[in-house]
Amino acid sequence: MTDPTNVLLLLATTNPGKLREMVDILLDCAHTAPLTDRRLTIVSPGELGKRLQVAETGQTYAENAALKAQAFCEATGLITLADDSGLEVEALGGAPGIYSARYAPQPGATDADRRALLLDRLADFPRPWTARFRCAVCVAAPGLPPLQVEGDCPGEIIPTERGQNGFGYDPIFWLPELGCTMAELPDTQKNQISHRARAIRAAWGLF
């Protein structure tokens, strides 16, 4: 990561909601803590015509993030940032965890399907349904060992969806200290306090 004039950073995701969040968080980092004498240029796999399918075979968020970051770094020769994240619900023993994005078994399952399945499995447990979002970020660069950081965001699961922003489990993830769900937050606020925001902001120091 020694280019004296420019940091070209590939974000290893094809999830449009996640990509938008990552870009917004990184641009805010660049605005509030600019790189000394360097400029950040962010690119996506789509912009490069790269459509890698990386099997997420890791047993932890960190392992999956590293698999994605290293695969895209090797394929492009670019500094690559990847994340893996999930929702952990205490009553379900930490599920869905690393399987959050593929929690519903049916082909073509949507975010709404996954939320519905989660609420169905929680129905017999007493509330509050305490939970947390977790995120691991890996930065891989050619010829260097991967660097990793993590972030989390505690909250609760509620039985009724609220809010139109965000994606995934955001409409049922309640933030008690703010009195709203993650999906009710404006993007600017979510990108300050979310698990992904906390991990990416920690990763910013790696540049």
Lowest mean pLDDT among 5-14, 102-111, 138-147, 192-201: 5-14
Question: Domain residue spans in the chain?
Answer: 6-199
Q: Is the peptide bond before 96 cis (omega within 30 degrees of 0)?
A: yes
* pLDDT value at residue 1: 46
Residue 65, φ and ψ in degrees, nearest 5: -60, -40
24, 28, 84, 120: the active-site residue? 84
Residue 86, φ and ψ in degrees, nearest 5: -170, 170
Q: Catalytic: 187?
A: no
Q: Is the peptide bond before 107 cis (omega within 30 degrees of 0)?
A: no
* 39 has a pLDDT exceeding 50: yes
Give the pLDDT confidence of 3-34 residue by residue, as tens digits: 557 778 999 998 888 899 999 999 999 888 88
What is the 3 state secondary structure string of 153-185? EEEEECCCCCCCCCCCCHHHEEECCCCEEHHHC
Residues 6+ positions from 37 with CB-CB distance below 8 Å: 4, 5
Interior CA angle at 201 toward 129 and 33, to 5°? 150
Give the pLDDT confidence of 65-113 residue by residue, as tens digits: 999 999 999 999 999 999 999 999 999 999 999 999 999 999 999 999 9
User: How far is Cα of residue 146 from the mean position of the Cα atoms in its chain?
Assistant: 18
CATH 3.90.950.10 applies to domain 6-199: yes
The per-residue pLDDT of the chain, averaged, comes to 92
Average pLDDT over residues 181-186: 96
Could you tell me what percent of the chain has a pLDDT over 70?
A: 98
Whether the predicted model's global pTM rises above the 0.85 cut: yes
Query: Rounded distance, CA 152 to CA 194, Å?
Result: 7
Residue among 82, 86, 77, 85 nearest 139 (CA)? 82
Query: Rounded distance, CA 151 to CA 121, Å?
Result: 26
